[in-house]
């Protein structure tokens, strides 16, 4: 985002560690997922940013309301690679809240 190449991103904890280590992100409390947009996008397209945030919240609710279907999709798309029970267990403890 600093180079202007990416306007926004949603990252899970496995991808955020590099940004934390490089000092590009800083958080005081525990987090599991980052929903970030470039400040330029916020300034130039605030309505788009609100729509992205709402879409993320809607997707989060669907994930939490449909964990078995979520696991099925994750395994079909190869977004997860272990036993369905383990993916489901992890999914149930993961916090996708936007705050």
Q: What is the pLDDT of residues 15-58, one digit of tens each?
A: 566 666 676 665 555 555 666 777 888 889 999 989 988 998 89
The number of C-alpha atoms within 13 Å of 27 and in the hemisphere containing its C-beta is 16
6 close to 37: Cβ distance less than 8 angstroms: no
- CA dihedral angle for residue 42, residue 44, residue 45, residue 50, rounded to 10 degrees: 20
Of 77 and 94, the one with more pLDDT: 77
Does the pTM surpass 0.75? The reply is no
% pLDDT > 90, the chain: 23
What is the chain's mean pLDDT, rounded? 77
Q: Where exactly are the structural domains of the chain?
A: 8-93
């Amino acid at each position: 985002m600093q180079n202007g190449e990416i306007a926004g991103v949603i990252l899970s904890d496995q991808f955020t560690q590099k940004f934390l280590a490089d000092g590009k992100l800083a958080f005081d409390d525990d987090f599991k997922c980052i929903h970030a947009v470039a400040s330029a996008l916020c300034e130039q397209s605030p309505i788009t940013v609100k729509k992205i945030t709402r879409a993320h919240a809607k997707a989060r609710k669907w994930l939490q309301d449909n964990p078995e279907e979520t696991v099925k999709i994750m395994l079909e798309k190869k977004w997860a690679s272990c036993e369905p029970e383990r993916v489901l267990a992890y999914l149930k403890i993961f916090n996708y809240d936007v705050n």
